[in-house]
Structure 1
Amino acid sequence: MIQSPEVLAAKNKAATLSIASNTILIILKLAVGVMMQSVSVLSEAVHSAIDLVAALIAWFSVRESGKPADDVHRFGHGKIENVAGTIEAALIFGAAFYIIREAVHKLQTGTVEIGSLGIGATVMALSALANYLVSRHLLSVASRTDSVALEADALHLRTDVYTSVGVLGGLVAIKLTGIAMLDPIVAIVVAFMIMKAAWDLTKTAFFHILDVKLPDDEEALIHDAMKRYTNRFIEYHKLRTRKSGHIRHIDMHLVVPKQMTVEAGHTLTHQITADIEKCLPYSHILVHIEPCPGGCERCAVECPKVGGLSMA
């Protein structure tokens, strides 16, 4: 299930926008943070630097994941996005620990002097606005294209919105109270918010590498599709689901009347897979046909009816 050129172009465009936005914000935050000697503003610069790395990883992964299956990667390249998301999560954890270390050092030494609060507050406000707009766009594209990498990048930026607002609030509080020690405290709070985002991203990206099943609501759609064909097969079992990047892999065993022809069984499976694909796009579905062993009371009553419908 390869995404169309239009979808791939939209993913690449979104990832490029994220790179450009983060590059500009890093320059602004770093310049202002050094000028102010503010660990909270510098922590935001570090956060944006990690977001830039994440954006670059996302840009690379969406390009690679769009490649078709080949002789080496028979199931496609979709899991590159999951790997990218996991790497991004690890980078965010690292950034959070770095921020905490710097903030604790400031608290221990007691050397906190903050200047140019107005400029810092302006940069934080601009950062929050820019990241909100870019993250909203990324989430929209991620939802439309089912991209784990873009979703991860969007979550990074959405967290940056909250942390920028937090730093902005801290700068305002310093301006009102004159207590410069609030700066490293705000930085620590920002770091914990970053760690929360990293954990959420880990759950989204890493666990799919372990081939966890699809979410319950998505599996419910599969069961709903199967209910529409209950009069044409005996039962289905061994349903297995997993996700690789944007591609969902679904397989099951379908028990049919033993007198059903190969052609009728083939037609039935095509109808079932088409229905599932309507509600779960980019699904690769494999249905293994099994003949009913026969001889049971249910088979004697239902099989003639089921078989007739199947071959209609």
Structure 2
Amino acid sequence: MSIEGKDNMYTKEKLKVARLSIISNSILTAGKLGVGFSMHSISIISEAIHSGLDLVAALIAFVSVRESNKPADDRHRYGHGKFENLAAIIEAILILLAAGLIIKEAIPKLYEVTEVKSLGLGAMVMVLSAAVNLFVSTKLMKVAKKTDSPALAADAWHLRTDVLTSLGVLAGIVIIKFTGWYIVDPLIAIGVALLIIKAAYDLLKESLGNMLDVRLPDGEEQAIKEILHSYADRFVDYRNLRTRKAGPQRYMDFNLIVPRGKKISTTHALCDNIERDLRRRLPEVEVIIHVEPCEPEAGDCAVCKASTKFKRGDNHCTCVVCENCRNKHD
């Protein structure tokens, strides 16, 4: 399959699961709100607020996925990948707002305990919510990993947080049922809010890093270096390796130092081979290689400089005068 065909397939798959998230969050938000108000349960209402913001996040994810997959244009020469990073930042801010609202509503309930009604109905809604969110988040995360989509990953983490918080609220309902300790309800709500804050912090940290062009993770940079080292017998050195990421798209550039006498055609073929291997190892990577001739007098090659065959008045590094470069020429 061509790269373009693969990208189109990934886009359709991403949009499909994003729509699924919108539908599930819409249903769960409405259900939790209705049950929460009928039960007078602040913890279930807090869950409804969380699901409501997850719905907004799902809508943002859907739009960002659609926009980020547009091809590069005259104004966006590097494409639109950062739409997904921007969406993830907005989602994180929304999550923090949700946590603040939940805490604001829960704290007064610590001092004015309200009886929680219809515990059985509340338990049923929480079990259903956890099951639905687990199913949808699993599908979202699977596609997010497959397509390297930060927006879908953010949406998946939101829903996984919902699974945990729904189970927490369910535990609170069970405790109230058997003990009558209604103060557990606002305590569970505050616990839900703290979990939400943690999820938002992690998401914000990662997304801001990509917006600010933080380098690729250690594992990916190590993979790049391994590929370069596999060609070490065909060039002198590489320098100034720079990497970054925008949405699912990776960018990297570096200087490749080659023997001064190496043919342009041979060097071009070498760069093509390196780029091919990098693209096989890392998905959606754009590579720029700046080729430079070695300068032995400047210290590019210690062997050249130390070699008795190297003529110090000659800045050329050729197989005639450089033992180190002998096997790196044609």
Q: With structure 2 as the length reference, what TM-score do the two structures score?
A: 0.91
The answer for the alignment partner of 1:183 in structure 2 is 185
1:27 aligned residue: 30
Of residues 184, 205, 208, the one that matches 1:206 is 208
Q: In the alignment, residue 323 of structure 2 is paired with which amino acid?
A: V
Give, in whole Å, the separation in 2 of the partners of 1:266 and 1:68: 27
> What amino acid is the match of 1:34?
F
Q: Which runs of 5+ in 2 are unaligned?
A: 305-321
Contact 1:93 1:198 in 2 (8 A): yes
What is the distance in 2 between the residues matched to 1:175 and 1:136? 31
Is the 8 Å Cα contact of residues 113 and 182 (structure 2) preserved in structure 1? no
SS in 1 for 2:79: coil
Alignment length, in residue pairs? 307
How do residues 60-139 of structure 1 correspond to structure 2 at under 5 angstroms?
60-108=63-111, 110-139=112-141
The residue identity in structure 1 corresponding to 2:249 is I
Write the distance in 2 (CA, Å) between the matches of 1:203 and 1:157: 18
Deviations 1:65-123 (A, max 9, x none): 00000000000000000000000000000100110010002123x14110000000000
Q: CA deviation at 1:205?
A: 1.3
Q: Secondary structure at the match of 2:153?
A: helix
Higher RCO by CA contacts (8 Å cutoff, separation 6 or greater)? 1
Q: Indicate conservation of the 8 Å contact 2:95/2:196, yes or no.
A: yes
Correspondence 1:134-173 to 2 at 5 A: 134-173=136-175
1:41 counterpart residue number: 44
- Corresponding position of 1:249: 251
Tell me the CA shift for residue 294 of structure 1. 3.5
Secondary structure at the residue paired with 2:244?
strand
Q: Contact between 2:249 and 2:285, CA under 8 Å: does it hold in 1?
A: yes
Equivalent residues in 2 for 1:229-248 (5 A)?
229-248=231-250
1:198 partner letter: A
Name stretches of at least 5 consecutive residues in structure 1 with no aligned partner.
none
User: 1:239-261: CA deviations, max 9, x gaps?
Assistant: 00000000000100000000111
Report the equivalent of 1:17: 20
- Counterpart of 2:326 (choices 282, 297, 304) is 304
The amino acid that maps onto 2:239 is H
Matched, 1:273 2:292: no
The match for 2:312 is: none
1:204 Cα offset (Å): 2.1
- Is the Cα contact below 8 Å between 1:58 and 1:153 reproduced in 2? yes
1:50 match: 53
Q: Secondary structure at the match of 1:302?
A: coil
The Cα shift of 1:304 comes to 2.2
For residues 128 and 185 of structure 1, the distance between their equivalents in structure 2, rounded to whole angstroms, comes to 19
3-state SS, counterpart of residue 36 of structure 2:
helix
Q: Distance in 2 between matches of 1:118 and 1:111?
A: 20
Q: Secondary structure at the match of 2:292?
A: strand
User: Are 1:124 and 1:165, in contact at CA under 8 Å, matched by a contact in 2?
Assistant: yes
Residue type at the aligned position of 1:53:
V
| Alpha-carbon distance in 1 for matches of 2:141, 2:251 | 23
SS at match of 1:220: helix
Task: Report the AA paired with residue 26 of structure 2.
Answer: T
Q: Match of 1:85, as an amino acid?
A: A
Which structure: larger Rg? 2
Give the fraction of aligned pairs with identical amino acids, expressed as a percent.
50
CA deviation after TM superposition for structure 1 residue 297, in Å? 5.8
SS in 2 for 1:73: coil
Runs of 4+ in 1 over 3 A off after TM superposition: 294-297
Deviations 1:19-49 (A, max 9, x none): 0000010111000001001000000000000
Q: Which position in structure 1 is the counterpart of 2:230?
A: 228
| 1:264-305 per-position Cα deviation (integer Å, ceiling 9, x unaligned) | 111111100110111101000101001001356623112121
The 1:245/1:297 distance shift into structure 2, 3 A limit, reads closer
Contact 1:258 1:294 (C-alpha < 8 Å) held by counterparts: no
Q: 2:287 aligns to what SS in structure 1?
A: strand
TM-score of the superposition, structure 1-length normalised? Answer: 0.96
For 2:209 and 2:90, locate their aligned partners in 1 and report how far apart those are by CA, in whole Å.
Answer: 13
Structure 2 distance, partners of 1:301, 1:143, is 47
